Amino acid sequence: MCGIIGYTGTLDAKKVIIDGLKELEYRGYDSAGIALMRKDQPEDPIYIMKEAGPVSVLEESTKGDEVASTCGIGHTRWATHGGVTDQNAHPHTTGRVTLIHNGIIENYRELINSYNLEDSLISETDSEVALRIIDYYYNKYQDPYRAIKKSVGIIRGSYSFCILFSNIPGKIFCIRNVSPLVAGVSEKGSLIASDLTALLPYTRDYFVLPEHTIAVLDPDGITLQDLEGNEVQPEMLHADWDVESVKKGGYPHFMLKEINEQPEAMHNTLKPRLQDGLPDFSEEGIPDSLFQDCREVCIIACGTANYAGMVGKSIMELILRIPVSVHIASEFRYEDPLIDDKTLCIVISQSGETIDTLEGMKIAMKKGAKTISIVNVKGSTIARESDYVLYTHAGPEISVASTKAYTVQLAALYLLACRMAYVRGVYDKEQASAFMNEVLMVVPVITEVLKNIVGMKHVSEKMMKAKDAFYIGRSLDYAFSLEGALKLKEISYVHAEAYPAGELKHGTIALIENGTPVVAIATQEKIYEKTISNVREVKARGAFVTLITKKGKEVGPEVCDIHLEIPDIADQFTVFPVAVMLQLIAYYTADGKGLDVDKPRNLAKSVTVE
């Protein structure tokens, strides 16, 4: 996700903005840029410098430029639409309007067509499309408020915009939907930024810009008005955190921040791919023939991405009734796999750089399979080398333990499963859009789970003292438990095994002793009773059982010690709230043990060795 800053006041704007960008760089940094309003050149008021690379490159390039300016905007980019190039870097400018953007414009293709923009766009970004719309209405109305109001009525998606109008000196216009913006006023001027880190050197008093509210910054203060023109009073907040903790958005660790970012990441990954309620990959150029012609699906990935693949397999087989196999990439490479040109190969990787996954993909391609990668990091090797790429829009994942990347990988797999079902005639339009509607509904469900963490903290108190733990479930619940056990192992160093609940009695149940923690997942109605029988078996042998079910299940103390409930949603979608619960159990266990949650021992974020 991109970093944004705007400043207008009495200080040297270039310095304030570049310093701010450095603070925001952790949000992602494939390019950076600034736009400054010159005081001494009214005939050419806007100075822009932007380029691919970190802020240090931008700083170097602007070093010799003496710009007389006390008002400007700056941006660090984490590419979503369009490659990492100087042209795609922000700010974007046209006519009298200069803009920076964080978020994703969902209907940008539609806007290009409706406003005949195809031939005039300079970059490949959705942001430039938003800029052109605002410019169009500014030319029409000659009024910045009217232009912004009209534009945001047309633009769909998540956005925070900071805008300069070259004929309105010293003022910055801002508005947001979903994507964050915080603002504050100091003795030296007014500031706005995508997070508090950039504001703190100047003020600790700030407010969160309410959505759909236009903020206008000038050197003396900030005024707010809603889209009806009514004045809005912001709710002032005071930050007493240190700068390090603010980079984590006030969370003690990136992992917790990233867990909490899941609703937004899901929204950003799903929404741009839905047209009339149906998954649509025309933006990605993925042809339907790929889905129609394949006889089977083969998923290749490592670690968490592989466990997302396991869920994808169950969902796809259930809906499509074609064989779906999931391969650990490091094994796949040496298996001489049974795939051919009738195989659709889905390659999943957060980083897009995992060497085993990359090499596995190359083998699949050599055997004639068509490849679609699901990747979070734009322009990464796997994304570039696969036949097609479906980017997840989780923003940078900094903590080594993958959390938000997992849920958006699932979201991408559900999109693919649904499109395949539709084009193969398994689902009609109504069924496909009902399915996607249920996927979208998990966004508020996740939000609800995130609001009530008491139960997960309670489980973690038991886990902290354990040497071993077990995660059990049947069918889809088993696929979820694999990821739950991995999360616990990698950050809390508690040995954890995921087991199909019905398989325990064939050996592993011998390991259950008095007090052994068992997390049992029972969200699948069809086999609910069967799973509960297995839970009773471990409980009878002294296990300390945490049971996760849908709301409304009656379970007594003979079944479990802690009962965690997720909202009552259809079986196929329970992975999302369950995943969040399991992530939080792992997080609070590791944190409670005083471990380095974000950088667990022996692990690297991107595994580029075999």
Q: Which of left, alpha, beta for 10 (phi over 0: left; psi -120 to 50: alpha)?
A: alpha
Dihedrals phi, psi of 190, to nearest 5 degrees: -110, 145
How far, in Å, CA of 415 to CA of 435, rounded? Answer: 9
Is 67 or 372 the residue whose CB approaches ligand M6R more closely? 372
Q: How far is the CB of 302 from ligand M6R (least distance, A)?
A: 4
Site pattern 587..606 for ligand M6R (x: CB under 6 A): ----------------x--x
Q: Which of 69, 102, 269, 350 binds ligand M6R (CB under 6 A)?
A: 350
**488 to 517, contacts with ligand M6R by CB under 6 A?**
490
DSSP bridge pairs for 186: 189
Q: Which of 70, 349, 386, 407 binds ligand M6R (CB under 6 A)?
A: 349
* Dihedral sign from CA coordinates of 480, 481, 484, 490: negative
**274 to 313, contacts with ligand M6R by CB under 6 A?**
302-305
Is 18 or 305 the residue whose CB approaches ligand M6R more closely? 305
Residue 25 DSSP SS3: helix
Site pattern 371..410 for ligand M6R (x: CB under 6 A): -----------------------------xxx--------
Q: How far is the CB of 485 from ligand M6R (least distance, A)?
A: 11
One-letter amino acid identity for 257? K
User: Which CA distances in Å does 166 have to 41, 163, 179?
Assistant: 11, 10, 25
Span near ligand M6R by CB under 6 A; candidates 177-185, 221-229, 344-352, 385-393: 344-352
Residue 479 CB partners (closer than 8 Å, separation 6+): 307, 310, 311, 313, 314, 473, 575
> How many helices and strands (H and E) does the chain possess?
19, 26
Number of neighbouring beta carbons within 10 Å of residue 526: 10
Number of neighbouring beta carbons within 10 Å of residue 154: 16
> If you search the block for the tokens 């969200």, which residue do you land on?
523
How far, in Å, CA of 396 to CA of 389, rounded? Answer: 17
* Using rule CB under 6 A, residue 607 touches ligand M6R: yes
Span near ligand M6R by CB under 6 A; candidates 107-115, 129-137, 351-359, 385-393: 351-359
Is 291 or 587 the residue whose CB approaches ligand M6R more closely? 587
Q: What pairing do the DSSP bridges indicate for beta strands 205-208 and 189-193? A: unpaired
Cis peptide before 91 (omega within 30 of 0): yes
Q: How far is the CB of 258 from ligand M6R (least distance, A)?
A: 11
Q: Which residue is nearest to ligand M6R (CB)?
A: 303
Is 563 or 605 the residue whose CB approaches ligand M6R more closely? 605
Q: Which of 351, 373, 386, 531 binds ligand M6R (CB under 6 A)?
A: 351
**Which are the catalytic amino acids?**
2, 605
- Is 521 within 8 Å of 492 (Cβ atoms)? no
Q: How far is the CB of 596 from ligand M6R (least distance, A)?
A: 14
* Using rule CB under 6 A, residue 354 touches ligand M6R: yes
Interface contacts to ligand M6R, rule CB under 6 A: 302-305, 349-351, 354, 357, 400-402, 490, 603, 606-607
